[in-house]
């Protein structure tokens, strides 16, 4: 018997996309562009503009600002309130406004640097353009999928196709590298090759750009259902990274209008694992940048560091694995101990 309560507790409930919104439309890989105006308008009506801003490609990580010089969150809160006002949303939530101010070519041009970084990291150009455009409307697209609507079916299929194809390509590239290494080294009795899995990735649960902003069901992540499961099946795209300058002793920091500000609430950590019969458990790598960070202290390493950004496609099952109390865990820089809880989560999706 299926246990009572939230059915998200079983991987079997990861339904194929066609069971959620019907069969894929013809030419969905280009047809999503015809849905853009209506989808962008709905994003303004249903969600804050923060989601659109979150795809800006910031510069590589820099040392964190000390707590004594942290910018005030007052201006950020005031801007957020203005964006949430009904008048503001209604003004922008029209097709006429989007056609005039946010046409797709203009949006793609704005995300051009992020698209180029993704291409340099292994994404096909077409997939990178699809991803960066549609991630900016992830809230509206996820809500439409959750409601079983078909008016944005091309966009849903195009986004999932771009991410699934990128994931499979990354797996194939890694397998080829392993095969080449084995052929060159033979029975070399040296250290094993590094894992092909990305490092743990992080994002904020609450506040600006937080997971709850795109899907309010994330607020119940820590609450078990009748079967004891803690997690959710999310139709909304999830993005995360391991930027060292997003962490401070006060908590998680987001980049808003060129300034880092601390947001309230716990931090979510996505722990990757190898694919198995149940599905895939590792984020799709959107970009990786190698740079030489400035040391945060005399003990910090000056070695090159790889910064990773990743995403989980719509229709991913997230499970809460562990809660690490505030101050008991280390941020990716190896030194900072944020004073907020860390919610360690695993993921399962099925890349086609």
- CB of 82 within 8 A of CB of 48? no
Residue 347: is its pLDDT beyond 80? yes
The H or E element that residue 123 is part of is: none
Overall average pLDDT of the 212-223 stretch: 93
Q: What is the DSSP letter of 261?
A: E
Residue 36: is its pLDDT beyond 60? yes
For strand 201-204 and strand 267-270, is the pairing parallel, antiparallel, or unpaired? antiparallel
Overall average pLDDT of the 102-112 stretch: 97
- CB of 249 within 8 A of CB of 25? no
Q: What is the pLDDT of residues 173-196, one digit of tens each?
A: 888 877 787 777 765 555 544 567
CA distance 233 to 213: 16
Name the pLDDT band for 67 (thresholds 50, 70, 90).
very low
User: Which residues contact residue 133 at a Cβ distance below 8 angstroms, ignoring those fewer than 6 apart?
Assistant: 36, 104, 107, 108, 111
User: Which residues contact residue 100 at a Cβ distance below 8 angstroms, ignoring those fewer than 6 apart?
Assistant: none
Residue 299: is its pLDDT beyond 50? no
Q: What is the pLDDT of residues 141-161, one digit of tens each?
A: 999 999 999 999 999 999 999
Residue 326: is its pLDDT beyond 90? yes
* % helix, strand, coil for the chain, step of 5: 40, 20, 40
- CB of 267 within 8 A of CB of 204? yes
122: left (phi over 0), alpha (psi -120 to 50) or beta: left
Q: Comparing 4-8, 153-157, 252-256, 286-290, which segment has the lowest mean pLDDT?
A: 4-8
Residue 246: is its pLDDT beyond 50? yes
Kindly report whether the global pTM for this prediction surpasses the value 0.85. Answer: no
Which pLDDT score, from 0 to 100, does residue 53 have?
35
Question: Mean pLDDT for the chain?
Answer: 83
**What are phi and psi for residue 269, nearest 5 degrees?**
-110, 130
Q: Comparing 22-36, 44-58, 212-226, 227-241, which segment has the lowest mean pLDDT?
A: 44-58
Overall average pLDDT of the 109-114 stretch: 97
Overall average pLDDT of the 64-86 stretch: 45
Which pLDDT score, from 0 to 100, does residue 55 have?
39
Residue 304: is its pLDDT beyond 70? no
Beta bridge partners of 305: 291
């Amino acid at each position: 018997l299926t246990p009572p309560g939230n059915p998200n507790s079983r991987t079997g409930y990861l339904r194929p996309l066609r069971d959620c919104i019907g069969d894929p439309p013809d030419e969905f890989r280009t047809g999503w562009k015809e849905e853009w105006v209506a989808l962008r308008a709905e994003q303004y009506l249903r969600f804050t503009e923060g989601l659109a801003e979150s795809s800006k490609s910031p510069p590589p990580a820099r040392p964190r600002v000390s707590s004594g010089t942290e910018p005030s969150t007052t201006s950020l809160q005031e801007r957020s309130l203005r964006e949430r006002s009904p008048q503001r949303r209604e003004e922008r939530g029209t097709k006429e406004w989007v056609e005039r101010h946010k046409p797709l070519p203009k949006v793609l041009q704005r995300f051009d640097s992020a698209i180029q970084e993704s291409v340099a990291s292994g994404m096909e150009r077409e997939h990178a353009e699809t991803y960066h455009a549609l991630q900016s409307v992830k809230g509206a697209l996820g809500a439409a999928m959750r409601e079983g609507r078909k008016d944005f079916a091309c966009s849903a299929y195009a986004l999932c196709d771009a991410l699934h194809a990128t994931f499979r390509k990354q797996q194939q590239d890694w397998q080829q590298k392993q095969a080449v290494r084995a052929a060159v080294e033979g029975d070399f009795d040296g250290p094993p090759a590094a894992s092909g899995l990305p490092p743990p990735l992080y994002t904020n649960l609450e506040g600006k750009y937080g997971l709850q902003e795109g899907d309010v069901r994330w607020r119940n992540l820590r609450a078990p259902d009748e079967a004891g499961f803690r997690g959710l099946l999310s139709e909304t795209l999830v993005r995360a990274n391991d930027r060292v300058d997003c962490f401070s002793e006060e908590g998680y920091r987001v980049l808003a209008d060129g300034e880092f500000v601390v947001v309230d609430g716990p931090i979510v950590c996505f722990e990757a694992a190898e694919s198995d019969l149940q599905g895939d458990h590792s984020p799709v790598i959107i970009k990786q940048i190698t740079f030489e960070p400035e040391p945060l202290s005399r003990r910090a390493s000056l070695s090159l560091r790889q910064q990773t950004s990743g995403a989980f496609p719509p229709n991913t099952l997230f499970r809460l694995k562990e809660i690490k109390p505030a101050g008991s865990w280390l941020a990716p820089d190896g030194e900072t101990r944020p004073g907020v809880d860390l919610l360690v989560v695993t993921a399962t999706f099925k890349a086609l």
